[in-house]
Amino acid sequence: MGLLLLLRFLFGLALLVSGAELLVRGASRLAAAWGISPLVIGLTVVAFGTSAPEMAVSLVATLDGRAAIAVGNVVGSNVFNVLLILGISAIVAPLAVSAHLVRLDVPLMVAVSFVLWCAILDGHLGVVESSFMLAGLIVYTAMLIRSSRRETSAAEASSGPLPPRSTRPLVDVGVIVVGLAMLVLGSSWLVEGATALARAVGVSELVIGLTVIAAGTSLPELATSILATVRGQRDIAVGNVVGSNIFNILGILGVSGIVGGGLEVAPAAVAFDIPVMTAVAVACLPIFFSGHCITRWEGVLFVAYYAAYTTYLILSATAHDALPVFSRVMLGFVVPLTAVTLVLVSVRGWRTRN
């Protein structure tokens, strides 16, 4: 039995990595075939596709009447996406951030996070609010595609025809579909195998839920962004995370709220988790603005904060004696120090540009 679990885990990991490679390759070729920039492909096709596990989990949870899982899945995934995925990707190689992301998409990610926070202050996300969120996603996607195609046409008019595009767009679409299928299946098998293996060695259900399961639906984004970074497709790496976060809030919670006739939001999520998600989104602004680059040390900072966030969740859930001391250290020293650092980074970046 143990060998079968290990094989399932390893095969899921192999599917995940292979699917990510296919997705990045197909998306890059499709960008040229359709005259759409790699950044927009990352913000739409790749981002929405790698969020398929989150969509599936949230819809099933909503239909089962478990709104807390639907909301927690989105919030936890967004924190994971920024802190761990961007952090690890930046450690692998510093990430250049497109001016388009800085001007539009990152501020939009911050804005929709605030909108969600305001919408659920009463502990409920209504059908009307959910419908507006889904409509906002449709408008955002249409604007991205239209803007990208207009920029491509302008480039052709000013400098002549661009390099030959792929003559096999349908093949590229097929590669993307196969890659997405492998990502979703590999993610599912990896989470199931890891959970079973953790139970077999005596790890508690709480630890499994807060680590393996919480991060499981974001594994496609992790694999895709890291692989895109290694292959030099850094617009896709960053766009995938930002686009996924926007899609998670507007698309997944929008659809779940409509399907479920509204979503009840747990008081703990209103008081802590959604504010943390919003703060993480806001933290991207000074880092992304400072030289339009996520450096390695900033990546280390992101990963360290994800470790601290996970540690807090575990200590809180177990009512551990170390929780008060840990909270005082974080609130009294680490958070203020980080805030000062981000301000200095912003000022330095502003002076450099001016």
Degrees, nearest 5: CA angle 250-207-62: 30
Is 130's pLDDT higher than 90? Answer: yes
State what percent of residues in the chain have pLDDT above 90. Answer: 16
The answer as to whether 29 is a domain residue is no
The answer as to whether 58 is a domain residue is yes
The answer as to whether 31 is a domain residue is no
Is 159's pLDDT higher than 50? Answer: no
Q: Which residue has the higher pLDDT, 197 or 25?
A: 25
pLDDT computed for residue 164 by the predictor: 47
Q: How many helices (H) and strands (E) does the chain have?
A: 20, 4
Contacts of the segment 274-278: beta carbons below 8 A, 24+ positions apart: 274/75, 274/113, 274/116, 274/117, 274/120, 275/117, 276/75, 276/79, 276/309, 277/75, 277/78, 277/79, 277/113, 278/110, 278/113, 278/114, 278/116, 278/117
The answer as to whether 6 is a domain residue is no
Q: Tell me: the pLDDT tens digits for 296-331?
A: 888 898 999 899 888 888 787 777 777 787 777 777
**What distance, in Å, lies between the first and last C-alpha atoms of the chain?**
63
Average pLDDT, the chain: 78
The answer as to whether 102 is a domain residue is yes
**Helices 67-80 & 52-63, crossing angle to 10 degrees?**
160
Reference 270, options 56, 53, 119, 112; nearest CA is 119
Q: Tell me: the pLDDT tens digits for 238-283?
A: 888 888 899 999 999 999 999 999 998 888 888 888 888 998 898 8
Q: Which residue has the higher pLDDT, 87 or 23?
A: 87
CATH of the domain at 78: 1.20.1420.30
pLDDT computed for residue 64 by the predictor: 79
The answer as to whether 18 is a domain residue is no
Reference 219, options 89, 81, 93; nearest CA is 81
Which residues is 317 bridged to in the sheet?
none
Q: Cα-flanking dihedrals φ and ψ of residue 264, to 5°? A: -85, 130
pLDDT computed for residue 352 by the predictor: 57
The answer as to whether 298 is a domain residue is yes
Domain count of the fold of the chain: 1
Most confident of 121-125, 176-180, 214-218, 234-238: 121-125
Q: Which residues have C-beta within 8 Å of that of residue 305, sequence separation ≥ 6? A: 83, 280, 338
Domain extent for 339: 38-156+207-215+225-353
The answer as to whether 176 is a domain residue is no
Q: Which residues have C-beta within 8 Å of that of residue 203, sequence separation ≥ 6? A: none
pLDDT computed for residue 162 by the predictor: 45
Q: Tell me: the pLDDT tens digits for 83-109?
A: 999 999 989 888 877 777 778 888 999
